[in-house]
Amino acid sequence: MIKGSDEIVKILVTSFEPFGKENINPSSEILKSIGDRLADAEIIKIQLPTVFHLSIDKTTEKIREINPDAILSIGQAAMRYDIGVERIAINIDDAKISDTAGQQPIDIPVDPQGPIAYFATIPVKKIVEEIRKEKIPASVSNTAGTYVCNHLMYGILNYIHKNGLSTKAGFIHVPYLSEQVLDKPHTPFMSLEDMTKAISIALRVISIDLAKTSTND
């Protein structure tokens, strides 16, 4: 979809429900703190089940409904110290714990007919740079793991590719919130305020990038 420079861009932002032993997921807490409008972007938010395949199905259903210009997915990454902007999604599910529906795929491709991997199509390095300018630790991550987050990132990019869409997509992993590490010594965490700021910056970079893409066409 090509937007005129005066048009509002639509960004779909997805978060995950809590999984494993956690009863909150920072990604969903961040979404509660982000408004429905950010600069010249309309933000549409959905919370996804931490479930293989169903998370992709819920997202593609939403893509068909609202036809977003970009999709930013967010998930929790235990033991990460910073905001991790994912560069790549790989075609494998290899779960160390079961998802919230009790599935635990091991060494199974996300899509047996799909390519080995997809690169994120959002400006990964620019997002990291802008977040760091605000003194919030962030880096490019070269693995989104092999659990539901990588699965979703791969599934979204695969859907976009297979359907010939111009929608941009990417994934950001965030650390635990402080309240999640009260009984986990030596575990990294970040404040909700910093995480929310980081995601808002990412959304602003994505919307500026979308505006540039449309004026270049």
DSSP string, 184-198: STT--EE-HHHHHHH
- CB-nearer residue toward ligand PCA: 153 or 210: 153
Question: Would residue 186 show up in a list of annotated catalytic residues for this protein?
Answer: no
The answer to the question of residue 176 lying near ligand PCA (CB under 6 A) is: no
What is the sign, positive or negative, of the torsion defined by CA atoms of 80, 87, 29, 134?
positive
The answer to the question of residue 159 lying near ligand PCA (CB under 6 A) is: no
Return the residue matching tokens 């950010």.
38
Q: How far apart are CA 210 and CA 10, in angstroms?
A: 10
Among 72, 105, 123, 147, binds ligand PCA (CB under 6 A): 147
Question: Would residue 86 show up in a list of annotated catalytic residues for this protein?
Answer: yes
The residues facing 69 across adjacent strands are none
The answer to the question of residue 16 lying near ligand PCA (CB under 6 A) is: yes
Spatial contact of 151 and 50, defined as CB atoms under 8 Å apart: no
Beta carbon of residue 216, minimum distance to ligand PCA (angstroms, whole number): 34
- CB-nearer residue toward ligand PCA: 48 or 206: 48
List Cβ neighbours of 98 (8 Å cut-off, separation of 6 or more): 104
The answer to the question of residue 50 lying near ligand PCA (CB under 6 A) is: yes
> Count residues contacting ligand PCA (CB under 6 A)?
12
List Cβ neighbours of 143 (8 Å cut-off, separation of 6 or more): 86, 88, 90, 150
The answer to the question of residue 105 lying near ligand PCA (CB under 6 A) is: no
Beta carbon of residue 133, minimum distance to ligand PCA (angstroms, whole number): 26
Using CB under 6 A, list all residues that contact ligand PCA: 16, 19, 25, 27, 50, 75-77, 145, 147-149
